[in-house]
Amino acid sequence: MSHDNSIRKGVTRQKLDELHAAAKGDRWRFVAMAPRLAMGMLRGKSLMEMISSDAMNECFIPISPMQGEFLYVTARALGVKNIVEFGTSFGISTIYLAAALKDSGGGRVISTELEPNKCKKARENLKQAGVAEYAEIREGDAMETLADLSEPVDLVLLDGWKDLYLPVLELIKPNLRPGSIILADNIFTFRKALRPYVEYMQSGENGFSSTTLDIADGFEYSVYLG
Ligand SMILES: C[S@@+](CC[C@H](N)C(=O)[O-])C[C@H]1O[C@@H](n2cnc3c(N)ncnc32)[C@H](O)[C@@H]1O
């Protein structure tokens, strides 16, 4: 275990700053999409349906810098080795997680992303951030790319489209060990779509202890009790 904190210095910090700055451009991408979103709403489409359309291919929709710090320290505090992430986008959250593994002596993030262009960019970004060897980006639908996990999973980040949080969690559940941590983003923004997930995690009947943290858009923090 080293005392390094690579998210605070060098190429990792530089790349994170560059990506967080580029992600601020999402607000203009959303403005450009507004007419299309309004049409969708008039046609009765749900926010989830519209948000998962091709129009989002260029959007980062990343975790916040504070969530990144939180992910980093969580991964470091527990000596985590195997991390699974649903929803890579351009790799911002993956860089925080991979940096924690690098600084604590090794491990691997398996992250998955539907969009080929985002996968390519995420791999480049991880390389430029100096943490590529700690991450594997699996291109495709999480329900397929995460179906063959062989190692026990210590930490999970759920940040893909919201209707799949529960199915993806159920897919990974056999690989969890008592004490594994599951973080799920956007609980406040997608309250309705994520209600089944939050109820499942907080009911106390499915092997989890869970609470919603008031960080960014709401971060569900769950521990698997076995
Ligand atoms: C909110 S973004 C992820 C942001 C990323 N975690 C970060 O902080 O930079 C969600 C991503 O999940 C991807 N995604 C959605 N459904 C997916 C699925 N079924 N399998 C794999 N990736 C998916 C989307 O293409 C999108 O890029």
Centroid of ligand 1 to alpha carbon of 87 (angstroms)? 3
pLDDT at 155: 98
The pLDDT of residue 43 is 80
In this model, does residue 49 exceed pLDDT 80?
Answer: no
Ligand 1 atom closest to 89 (CA)? 27
Task: Render pLDDT for 52-104 as a digit per residue (tens, 0 to 9).
Answer: 556 678 889 899 999 999 999 999 987 799 999 999 999 999 999 999 999 99
User: Does residue 105 have a pLDDT over 80?
Assistant: yes
pLDDT at 36: 75
Task: Give the model's confidence band at 199: pLDDT under 50 very low, under 70 low, under 90 confident, else very high.
Answer: very high
* Helix, strand or coil, per DSSP, at residue 103: helix
Q: Collect all residues with Cβ–Cβ distance below 8 Å to 2 and sequence separation of at least 6.
A: 103, 104, 105
**47, 86, 96: residue to mutate for ligand 1 pocket, most atoms within 8 A of CB:** 86
- Residue 140 to residues 91, 119, 129, 197, 221, Cα–Cα distance (Å): 15, 9, 23, 22, 26
Residue 43 alpha carbon to ligand 1 centre in Å: 25
Q: At what angle do helices 116-128 and 92-103 cross, to 10 degrees?
A: 40
Question: What is the pLDDT, as a whole number, of residue 55?
Answer: 65
Mean pLDDT taken over the chain = 92
Query: Could you identify the atom of ligand 1 that is nearest to the CA of residue 142?
Result: 20
Q: Which atom of ligand 1 is nearest to the CA of 186?
A: 1
Q: Full-prediction pTM beyond 0.75?
A: yes
Distance 3 CA to ligand 1 centre (A): 31
Ligand 1 proximal residues by C-beta, below 6 Å = 60-63, 87, 89-90, 92-93, 112-115, 118, 141-142, 159-161, 164
What number is the average pLDDT over the span 113-121?
A: 96
For residue 136, the model assigns a pLDDT of 98
pLDDT at 184 over 80: yes
% of the chain with per-residue pLDDT over 90: 81
